Structure 1
Amino acid sequence: MAADDKTVLFLPGLGAGVDPWAAQLGALPAGFTGLAPEIPGLSEAATPGRFTFAGAALALRDLLDEHGIERAHVCGLSLGGMTATQLALDFPERIASLVLSGSQVRPHPALMAILRTVVRVLPESHAERMGMTKAMWLGALRVVADLNFRGRLGSIQVPTLVLCGSLDVVNILPARELAAGIPNAELRIVPRAGHPWNVERPELFSQTIADFYTRLPGSNSPGA
């Protein structure tokens, strides 16, 4: 593993709040560094515009260019995991490995319809606390509802760790599908963990991904 292959790009879930990856950024294995941007298209202040997975992947590729990073390990949770998958599909040469937690392959249409109905009746202040407008929130949910990675996962050739909390019941079957579809992916259903377990159980999440990164080929080799 080359020195420039030791940056971890952390991608948060929708409305994850401030610094959702703070614990993980401070607990990476020796020699690794972290980068935790907002997902492009989901922040009214920093990245205005309609969110799409392809657009977010392109903007993240450009962000890697800006930082002089040829290849990154990408760790995403929920919508961040879906964005990480899109990035690996669109720009495979820029990805060293994937960690996908609480992510999806093809979201259930009925569930997405229920989520949009709930969001429509919430006050605007709920969206403001997430750093977006309600229109942006609903727009992102519509994009997620149209997501479909089926038939494409087999092209992902990097080491992949698929995670899901045992209490995150909605995402357990998608996690199994992700792990089955990505060649040689490793699946872990984490006992007593929920959906945003990077925040709820930060030490366990940090240790889980650290173990994965240190097991990657060449991670402990001289000069790695």
Structure 2
Amino acid sequence: MDERLEQAELDALWRFDDPYVSAERLAIAAAQPDRSELVRAELETQRARALGLQGRFAEADALLESLEPAIGTLAVRILLERGRLRNTEGEQEAAIPLLEEALQAARREGETYLAVDAAHMLAIADRPRAEQWTDEAFADLDGTDDPRTLRWAVSLHNNRGWARFDARDLTGALAAFEDALAAAERFGTADQGFVARWSLARCLRELGRSEAALVIQRSLAAERPDDPDVVAELHALTEATPTIEP
């Protein structure tokens, strides 16, 4: 009998582009009779996350409440998903203390993966301190050699790149996007590598390095010719009308 929820199983169950399918898969997995109560409850925290992505916040909150009282890893997951729900709702002031509590609880439990997740969410919810929270996430990563946990480096560098991009620190953004690509090549998925290359090219275009950006976007188009973001960038780089906002 499983004693804890493995990240590899969650990776297989989640479809982040389709929270409806994700919620259904997670519900089926949680209903399997050979599950321990702890694993079943952990799966339910993820179903609550999927409900939140559908905008069904009251249902998600009720589901998380039904899992309490909780201790250990389950308590960390409940705090983290409550914070994520509030952020998705646009209630950042409510999200931040929940995520801070989740971060501290994850560290106490030795749950590095969840600690990095919490710090990464804090960087999104608490924009004025985004750099600080990202630094904390990287500090947590320094203590692990688990390849799946180290995959977080891709998202952390990418998020830092876009934060700097939005602040018009384009040189800093470029460095972060380069780091994201390097991390994707070491630890990431094919999708993460694709996004990292696209982000790097987008920043190069903003810096006026259109030829270098065009080379990357054309290589991406060869892989996924119908990708709307790539199509839009190719239009922008060839001075045609963009199909989406840059």
Larger strand proportion of the pair: 1
User: TM-score normalized by structure 1?
Assistant: 0.29
Larger helix proportion of the pair: 2
User: TM-score normalized by structure 2?
Assistant: 0.27
Higher relative contact order (CA 8 A, sep 6+): 1
